[in-house]
Structure 1
Amino acid sequence: MKKYIYILIMSCTFGALVSCVETTAPEDEYGKGYNLAGFVNGSQAVSAVADGSEYAVEVPMQVKGPAMNKTKGTVIVNIEVDESSTAIEGTHFSLSTKSIELTEGQDFLSLLPLAVMTQGVVPPATFSLVLKVSNVDGENVIANGSTINLNLVYQCPADLSGTYLVTNDSCNPSFTATISKNADGSWALSSADGGWLHQCTSNSTLLNPGNIVELCGEILPTSDLDYGGLGIGTILGGSFNEVTGVLTMEHEETYFDGGPRNWTSTYTRQ
Structure 2
Amino acid sequence: MKNFIKILALTIFVSFSATSCILDDEALTDTFNDGSNFVSFSTSAQNLSAVADGQEYTFGVVVELQGPNNLAGMTEDVVVNVAPVASETTAVAGVNYVLPMTSITLKRSENYIATLPITVITDGIIAPLAVNPVLTLELTSTAGPNVIPSSKTNTLTFVYQCFADLSGDYLATNDGCANGAIPKPTTIEANADGSWFIAIGDGGFLGYGCTGNPGLDNFANITELCGDILPTGNLQFGSANFSGAIGDIQGGTWDPITSTLTMNHTQTFTTNWAGAWTSTYVRQ
Tell me the TM-score normalised to structure 1 length: 0.51
* CA deviation map 1:241-267 (0-9, x unaligned): 44548799xxxxxxxxxxxxxxxxxxx
Do residues 127 (structure 1) and 129 (structure 2) align?
no
Do residues 112 (structure 1) and 124 (structure 2) align?
no
Give the secondary-structure state (helix, strand or coil) at the position aligned to 1:36: strand
Which residue of 192, 217, 233 corresponds with 2:228? 217
Look up the match of 1:85: 89
Q: Which amino acid aligns with 1:95?
A: L
Look up the match of 1:13: none
* CA deviation map 1:12-42 (0-9, x unaligned): xxxxxxxxxxxxxxx9999653211121011
- Segments of structure 2 that go 5 or more residues without pairing to the other structure are 1-28, 168-189, 197-222, 231-249, 255-259, 266-284
Give the secondary-structure state (helix, strand or coil) at the position aligned to 1:131: strand
- Segments of structure 1 that go 5 or more residues without pairing to the other structure are 1-26, 162-177, 182-186, 190-211, 220-237, 249-270
Q: Which amino acid aligns with 2:159?
A: V
Tell me: CA distance 1:123–1:31, structure 2 relative to 1, closer, same or farther (3 Å). Answer: same
Do residues 76 (structure 1) and 79 (structure 2) align?
yes
Give the secondary-structure state (helix, strand or coil) at the position aligned to 1:111: strand
User: Are the equivalent residues in 1 in contact too, given 2:40–2:150 (CA < 8 A)?
Assistant: yes
Which residue of 127, 145, 155 corresponds with 1:139? 145
Tell me the TM-score normalised to structure 2 length: 0.49
Deviation of 1:66 after TM superposition, in Å, equals 2.1
Percent identical pairs in the alignment equals: 30
Deviation of 1:158 after TM superposition, in Å, equals 2.3
Tell me: CA distance 1:239–1:90, structure 2 relative to 1, closer, same or farther (3 Å). Answer: farther
Deviation of 1:214 after TM superposition, in Å, equals 4.0
Deviation of 1:180 after TM superposition, in Å, equals 2.1
* CA deviation map 1:56-105 (0-9, x unaligned): 11111101112123532210000101111110001110011000000000
User: Are the equivalent residues in 2 in contact too, given 1:154–1:215 (CA < 8 A)?
Assistant: no
User: Aligned equivalents of 1:247 and 1:31: distance in 2?
Assistant: 66
Look up the match of 1:149: 155
CA RMSD of aligned residues (A): 3.6
User: Are the equivalent residues in 1 in contact too, given 2:99–2:117 (CA < 8 A)?
Assistant: yes
Q: Which amino acid aligns with 1:180?
A: A
User: Aligned equivalents of 1:58 and 1:138: distance in 2?
Assistant: 23
User: Are the equivalent residues in 2 in contact too, given 1:155–1:216 (CA < 8 A)?
Assistant: no
Tell me: CA distance 1:30–1:110, structure 2 relative to 1, closer, same or farther (3 Å). Answer: same
**Which shows bigger deviation, 41-50 or 29-38?**
29-38
Deviation of 1:114 after TM superposition, in Å, equals 1.2
User: Aligned equivalents of 1:247 and 1:30: distance in 2?
Assistant: 64
Look up the match of 1:35: 37
Summarize the alignment of residues 244-255 of structure 1 with structure 2, pairs less than 5 Å apart.
Answer: 244=261
Summarize the alignment of residues 44-59 of structure 1 with structure 2, pairs less than 5 Å apart.
Answer: 44-59=46-61
